């Protein structure tokens, strides 16, 4: 799943490309991706619902189109792992890319209801070909969502209504929030009892950190993923706070992590996967002490760590 650096990469690139453009139309072969929120209701279809009436899908698609077509794109920002496209009339589109989704900026032809890239190169790579949603923009531009697993969600509605959803309202502070001091970080971690890996992944504690960066941050700080939060010293927490920000900034600088499906809006890979120390390195030698990297399950998620550098403090 794209994490903070990947989502920030997309948001920053979109900000350069689509500001001032108007949404002229929408194409989708998978309307389940779409949601529309108003002060009256929240129109959506559960992705787990297998039998969906064609009339339901048609209604959702029409309402979504009516809500966004004709609106101008004013700004693009990031909140946690969400991309927020700010429209005219105080409307927004929230995009959560989930496991395999990524936004692409290019041009496509729809042939037999299948989008075909007009441009050669990386946009023709298989990972960029699972397109299920396209926004037609003024100036002949297009913004598409490629999503192999079809878990992504795209929500439109008034900004006030969208920002009141749990997707935004329940998020913890952003690591780059200027008011998010070390003392606030320490307090949030210490107040949330549990294993440190689980706490780092909790979006209500801290927004934007996922499996990749949690593993890498804990390795740099020599902290075992199963360490209870109350066992971590203030010195270690201060290092974690500083290393977290430095690592996230570095990853943003090099375009995020493309170990899996993530690509930027031009269909290109990021480079952070080249700098992994433990993530997906099971059985390989730790670059610091040469012990073999191990993998365990923490809260149902795979966690990679060095058993020598990151000894348990249980």
Q: Which CATH number does the domain housing residue 186 bear?
A: 1.10.8.50
pLDDT tens figures, 146-175:
999 999 999 999 999 999 999 999 999 999
119 is catalytic: no
Same domain, 301 and 239: yes
Same domain, 21 and 69: yes
Cα(159)–Cα(89) distance, integer angstroms: 9
pLDDT tens figures, 3-30:
999 999 999 999 999 999 999 999 999 9
Averaged confidence pLDDT in the chain: 96
3 is catalytic: yes
115 is catalytic: no
Q: Which of 2, 5, 115, 175 is catalytic?
A: 2
Q: Which of 72, 159, 301, 308 is catalytic?
A: 301
The parent domain of residue 22 ranges over 4-169
pLDDT of residue 299: 87
Q: What is the DSSP letter of 121?
A: S
Average pLDDT over residues 202-206: 96
pLDDT tens figures, 222-265:
999 999 999 999 999 999 999 999 999 999 999 999 999 999 99
Same domain, 207 and 283: yes
236 is catalytic: no
Same domain, 260 and 142: no
CA 184 from centre of chain: 24
Distances (CA, A) of 179 to 11, 43, 133, 184: 22, 35, 37, 9
Of 139, 169, 199, at which residue does a domain stop?
Answer: 169
Given strand 101-106, what is the order of strands in its sheet?
Answer: 23-28, 131-137, 142-147, 101-106
Same domain, 217 and 103: no
Q: Is the pLDDT of residue 70 over 80?
A: yes
pLDDT of residue 313: 66
pLDDT higher at 266 or 39:
266
Q: Is the pLDDT of residue 312 over 80?
A: no
Same domain, 137 and 205: no
Cα(232)–Cα(266) distance, integer angstroms: 41
Q: Which of 81, 188, 195, 263 is catalytic?
A: 81
Distances (CA, A) of 99 to 147, 211, 240, 296, 308: 8, 12, 26, 21, 31
């Amino acid at each position: 799943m794209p994490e903070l650096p990947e989502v920030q990469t997309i948001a920053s690139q979109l900000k350069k490309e689509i500001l001032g453009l108007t949404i002229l139309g929408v194409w989708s072969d998978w309307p389940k991706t779409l949601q529309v929120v108003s002060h009256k209701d929240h129109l959506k279809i559960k992705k787990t619902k297998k039998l969906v009436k064609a009339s339901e899908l048609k209604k959702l698609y029409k309402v979504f189109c009516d809500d966004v077509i004709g609106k101008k794109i004013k700004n693009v920002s990031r909140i946690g792992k969400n991309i927020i496209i700010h429209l005219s009339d105080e409307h927004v589109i929230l995009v959560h890319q989930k496991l395999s989704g990524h936004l692409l900026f290019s041009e496509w032809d729809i042939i037999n209801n299948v989008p075909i890239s007009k441009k050669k190169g990386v946009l023709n790579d298989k990972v960029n070909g699972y397109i299920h949603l396209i926004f037609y923009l003024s100036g002949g531009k297009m913004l598409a969502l490629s999503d192999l697993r079809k878990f992504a969600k795209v929500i439109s509605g008034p900004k006030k209504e969208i920002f009141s959803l749990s997707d935004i309202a329940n998020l913890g502070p952003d690591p780059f929030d200027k008011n998010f001091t070390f003392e606030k970080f320490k307090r949030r971690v210490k107040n949330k009892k549990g294993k440190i890996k689980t706490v780092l992944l909790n979006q209500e504690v801290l927004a934007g950190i996922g499996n990749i960066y949690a593993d890498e941050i804990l390795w740099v700080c020599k902290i075992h993923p199963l360490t209870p939060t109350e066992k971590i010293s203030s010195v270690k927490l201060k290092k974690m706070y500083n290393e977290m920000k430095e690592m996230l900034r570095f990853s943003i600088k090099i375009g995020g992590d493309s170990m899996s499906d993530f690509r930027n809006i031009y269909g290109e890979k990021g480079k952070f996967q080249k700098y992994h120390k433990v993530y997906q390195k099971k059985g390989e030698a730790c670059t610091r002490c040469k012990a073999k990297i191990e993998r365990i399950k923490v809260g149902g998620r795979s966690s990679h760590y060095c058993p020598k550098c990151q000894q348990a403090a249980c």
